[in-house]
Every structure is written in C-alpha cells, then in structure tokens.
Amino acid sequence: MKRQVNWAQVLVECKSAIIKQIQPLLKTVGQPQPDLGIGAGGDPMRQVDLVAEKAVASIFTKNGISFTLISEESGVTEYGNTADECYVTTDPIDGTTNLSRRIPFYATSIAVSTKPILGTVYAGLVADLFHGVGYIAQRGKGAYREKKKITPSQNFSLEDAVIGLDLNSYKVKTLIPRLNGLVQRTKHIRHFGANALELCYVADGTTDAFIDIRGKLRTTDIAAAWLVLNEAGAIMTTPDGMTLNAKLDPRQKVKFVASGNREIHDTILDLIKPEKEAQ
C-alpha cells in the first residue's frame, strides 16, 4: 500500500467490533431465522454473518483503507477510490452451525493480500469469538496467539498425535478408503467444526495436524489461517505435497494437509496417497 498501516491494530479492532456487534444476536441465534437468501459462497445467509461482515468493512473504512472485500456472504465489493490497493478476504463466521447450537467453537477469518491470490496474503486474523482470542500473523513477523508468539508441535509420532480430520461430505464413502490407513494408525481423531480455528490449533501446537481432502472448503475459510500456519513454522500443502495456492474467491475450493512438522507431514501424505499412486 502507499501508506503504512498497523495491520495488527486494525485486525484487533475488527475482532473487538465483531464480538460487540454479534452479541445481541446470540440470544436468538438458535431460533428460526429469516430467509436472507444464499450467500456468494453458496450457503444460506444468517443475520449474524452479515453483521460480522459489516463490522469488518466498517473498521477498514474507519481506518481510511481502500480495499476490495471478498466475502462468503456478499461476494466481491469495492470500498474506496483505490479498491485494488489491497484485498480483504473474510469468512465472517466460521462455524455457524456451532454458533447456532451454542457449541463454543466458532471464529472470524480475515486475510489481507496484494492480489486475490492465496500466496499474496501478508496479514491475517483468525479470531475465536467465544473466548475472545485472536491469532494474528504478518508476513515475515511470525504468528501470535494474542501477544504470545506461537510455534507448532514437534511430535513426530502419529500414534501419539491428535489429528483433525474433516469428513463432513456426501463423498465420505469415497474418502474413507483413502483415509483408512491414517485412521488405523491414529488414536486421537478430532473435528471441532470451525476449520480456520482448527488450523490455528496446528499452528500453536494444540493439535499435530489437520486434514481436509474433501474439495469442499473454500479459500475464504483458510486464507488467514494459511498465513498463521506459515508464519508459525507449520506446513500446509495439497494432499499430493505440492505448494498450496489458489484464487481468493467465495467459490474457490481447496484440499490440504496441515502439519506441525515435516516428519509427521510426510507420514500423513504417504498414508493418504490414492491407491494407484501407493502401489
């Protein structure tokens, strides 16, 4: 950008604004909601999602930032006279089902990039909205949980590892054979229901890996967490071990494996190879 922006401060402001703005809605979020149509990402929109998105846009605007918003709700919207100065990719509420059922695991994801491409993200926030905890990263400056620098797990043993695995898909019958070897080797499989936050758990060593090979998750879900992982020193690739990069768009889907260290990452990649590749 042409001027200096304190991105950490802006992102913390976003976290606070979202928590404040959605608070009045939490009392009724589990009740039948009005039909607000389908969002740009293809899911039904809820009022809480739109309020969170509005809070993000308002903070960036208040700070005098021109930007292009890429959101799962409203799609692509330009703000300011020089909207191509930066791109702000957000999933306003990641884990909406958890929120609506009062399961305390849901988040906001906000990523800032020079282009609408994952590899150009240079600042990001994943905010645990229930606990008020923010994971913030800036390119070349490390990743932090609140103000404490984070590093991933150095556990190399798959048998002792806690592995996140998203199987929420109609394709689960086709996925299970590919994941069978991994599941048999791992004693502790988890899925909490907000993938951006689960990726941050890999970044700070709470879990050892997180896997999503469904081809269902959008880049808007993982853009900020991708930077948090990389800046923490964790590893995130495609399921075949290639560099993960994709267009930042509400309908762009990705598959990935994220791990705390290279040794356990390579073990997982080897176990989930398609049968024809493994032979």
pTM score: 0.93
Q: Are 176 and 122 in contact (CB under 8 A)?
A: no
Q: Which two tokens stand for residue 79?
A: 């703000």
The amino acid that residue 65 corresponds to is I
* Confidence class for position 275, pLDDT limits 50, 70, 90: low
The amino acid that residue 273 corresponds to is K
DSSP conformational letter for 128: E
Q: Is residue 18 part of a domain?
A: yes
What is the tally of structural domains in the chain? 2
- Domain ranges, residue 58: 7-149
Of the CA atoms within 13 Å of residue 177, those in its CB half-sphere come to 7
Q: pLDDT, tens digit, for every residue of 212-244? A: 999 999 999 999 999 999 999 999 999 999 999
Q: Give the distance, in angstroms, between the CA of residue 202 and the centroid of all CA atoms in the same chain.
A: 12
Domain boundary among the residues 149, 169, 184 is at 149
Range list of β-strands (E), 27-174: 67-71, 75-79, 87-94, 107-113, 121-128, 133-138, 143-145, 148-149, 162-165
Dist CA 198 CA 105 (whole Å) = 9
Q: How many residues does the chain have?
A: 279
Domain boundary among the residues 149, 169, 192 is at 149
pLDDT at 2: 52
Domain boundary among the residues 118, 149, 180 is at 149
Average pLDDT over residues 188-207: 97
Say if residue 113 is in the same domain as residue 179. Answer: no
Of the CA atoms within 13 Å of residue 259, those in its CB half-sphere come to 20
Q: Is residue 1 part of a domain?
A: no
What do you get for the CA distance between the two ends of the chain, in Å? 50
Q: pLDDT, tens digit, for every residue of 108-123? A: 999 999 999 999 999 9
Q: CATH number of the domain at 181, please.
A: 3.40.190.80
Say if residue 203 is in the same domain as residue 120. Answer: no
Task: Give the residue carrying structure tokens 């898909």.
Answer: 169
Q: CATH number of the domain at 108, please.
A: 3.30.540.10
Higher local confidence (pLDDT), 33 or 182: 182
Does residue 277 surpass a pLDDT of 60?
A: no
Does residue 209 surpass a pLDDT of 60?
A: yes
pLDDT at 4: 87
* Confidence class for position 205, pLDDT limits 50, 70, 90: very high
Q: pLDDT, tens digit, for every residue of 49-106? A: 999 999 999 999 999 999 999 998 889 999 999 999 999 999 999 998 899 899 999 9
Q: Are 124 and 142 in contact (CB under 8 A)?
A: no
Least confident among 3-12, 31-40, 69-78: 31-40
Letter string b/e over residues 11-34, b meaning 16 or more CB atoms within 10 A of that residue's CB:
bbbbbebbbebbeeeeeebeeeee
Task: Tell me what percent of the residues of the chain surpass a pLDDT of 70.
Answer: 96
Say if residue 163 is in the same domain as residue 113. Answer: no
